[in-house]
Amino acid sequence: MRSILTIAQNSFKESIRNRLFLNLLVFAIAMIILSLIIGTLSLGAEKRITMDIGLGAITIFGTLIAIFIGVSSFSHEIERRTIYTILARPVNRTQFILGKYLGIMMVLAVNTIAMAILVSLVLLMLGQPPTLLFWLADIMQLLALGVIAALAIAFATISGTVVAVIATLTIWVSGTLTDDLIYLARRADNPIVTGITEILYYILPDLSSFSLHTQVANNLEIPGGFISTALIYGISYIAIVLGLAALNFNHRELV
């Protein structure tokens, strides 16, 4: 456990110093500030627009950070050959992956909370403090980012940086369209297309199952069982993806 925490701490420090992380954070902050300007120009809809843009910025930039930091943090260890030094210590490859994942989640947590605080400040400036539902939506978004980070690491264990980034981006986009996939599957006349689409539906992460954006923007009640179902699904998906990543990495020859 101590080895995992040490790797996580080092990964967190390295990612925080990463220029890409800082650039994405700056763009996210700019996007949220923009929501304040747009909100003030939209009489009667300031809160809804600010929350929409704020949660959108947290989602988009958080996802980009999860993908690029997740892939680069793992790939750079192999490219720089520093992984040999780490594995020469009493650290196995599974612990290495878990440590990297934990470090990335620490970065994502800091980023997500920081942007949520900024959105909250914008709402306070508009005279409409954030609700508990907004913070709950932020936590659920962090869980969704955890799924993306796990996929980024998994792809990084089997391919180079560019391919891993593209593959994870593709899965992210596809994961936001899972409802459309099952709709197409049910309407397709071709049984082969229907079968393939249904397989993809069950393999791809259903990222919409973590989203509370509609409820936050329109002040709606959370559907019964939503939180518990999302937690079980998210944690299970992350565990399976990291397990497959560890299984593959344990059999990979490092050159």
Per-residue pLDDT in tens (0 to 9) along the chain, 255 residues: 777 787 777 777 777 766 556 666 676 677 667 666 665 665 556 667 777 777 887 888 889 888 988 888 877 777 777 776 766 677 777 888 888 899 899 989 988 888 888 778 777 777 777 778 888 888 899 999 999 999 999 998 888 888 889 999 998 888 887 766 666 666 666 677 667 777 777 788 888 888 887 777 777 788 778 888 999 999 999 999 999 988 888 776 665
Q: At what angle do helices 46-79 and 93-125 cross, to 10 degrees?
A: 160
Which backbone phi and psi does 89 adopt, to 5 degrees? -85, 175
- Rounded Cα distance between 106 and 12, Å, is 7
Q: Which long-range contacts (CB under 8 A, 24 or more apart) does 168-173 make?
A: 168/67, 168/70, 168/71, 169/67, 171/204, 171/205, 172/63, 172/67, 172/148, 172/207
DSSP character for 157? T
What pLDDT shows up at residue 233?
A: 92
- How far apart (Å, rounded) are the C-alpha atoms in residues 252 and 176? 31
- Residue in 112, 104, 172, 118 with CA at minimum distance from that of residue 136: 112
Q: Shortest CA distance to 55 belongs to which of 172, 214, 213, 226?
A: 213
CA 131 to chain centroid: 23
Amino acid at 95: Q
- Total residues belonging to the chain: 255
Nearest to 151 by CA among 70, 247, 75: 70
Are 93 and 250 contacting, i.e. CB atoms less than 8 angstroms apart? Answer: yes
Which of 47, 135, 44, 153 minimizes the C-alpha distance to 97? 153
